[in-house]
Structure 1
Amino acid sequence: MSYLFLFIPAIGWGLMPMFVAGVKKSSIYHQILGTVLGAFIFGAIVTLIKHPAFNATTFILAMLAGAAWVIGQVGQYYSYSKVGVSETMPISTGLQLIGVPLVGVLIFGEWASTQAKIFGFLGILALIIGVACTSLTDKGTAEGNKQNQTTTMIVLVLTTLGYITSSSIPKALKATA
């Protein structure tokens, strides 16, 4: 039963795009404000219950990670409004699954053995192919004809760097500890 609780964040993050994109009269500003306030309230409650130890350095790095996360989230919300959730999520998620391990290998020296690097990079290549395949649209469909699709994808790729950064900052903090 306790393992079921491990799925709650994944389910929540999986359902959130559909709920956010479903609120038709909200602006990106309101969507990000609601998401950030929700995360802040949840974090404040957990902090009051768990009493984690932190100092000025960890607080500042957590703020930087949060700011980078907001950049990624804004890019997703922008993309939801332009091309929809079904086109945004595979690209954003795929880029995160590619970027975070690359940061781990290139900056933090993970995948030390040659075998780990070979299999790791083959896995990343498979992810790249998967992202490319899931992001393709048919020429005759409404998604395939969107004129703003290229600009939106560029924004999404650049803002996904915010997600990658926000995932890498805690690793950097742990590496210096």
Structure 2
Amino acid sequence: MPEALRLYVRSVDALNQGIGRIVMYGVFVMAAILLWSSISKTFFLPSLWTLEMAQFAMVAYYVLGGPYSIQLGSNVRMDLFYGDWSPKKKAWFDAFTVFLLMFYLGVLLYGAVESTLYSFQYNERSPTAWRPVLWPIKVTMCVGFTLMLLQALSEFIKDIARIRGEEI
């Protein structure tokens, strides 16, 4: 493999690993928000922001943690046949199917960018009683989809290397 591709794979993997290791603690943020929601509903006045903030935290956790999950190979697969295949056959299959993933992520990114631009242009707010602006979570989604696309390309390069009998 050319050194430029090796550098790309190492850089994208390092970036997504760093972000993923930080974002994985988002589960505690969500738990704290939901705990406060339960406490405030039981002992005080219910908070208007807790449910929606927990949803925003979940989106950030899921979208920003996705590339790290792909990198670790902890994404869900149907192992009916895949589990019995040789590493080279798995690499061929993964190299083919990653194009479907990249197409899907491209469509998601296109929609997210359009929605984010709309959100900035009209200062879009949630139609709930709390009424937070929506652009921060939409920007987070755009960043997450971009990172996932970069990671999918990295995985494609690693699959091609495996097919050629190399490791990156």
**Superposed pair shares fold, TM > 0.5:** no
Superposition TM-score, scaled by structure 2 size: 0.31
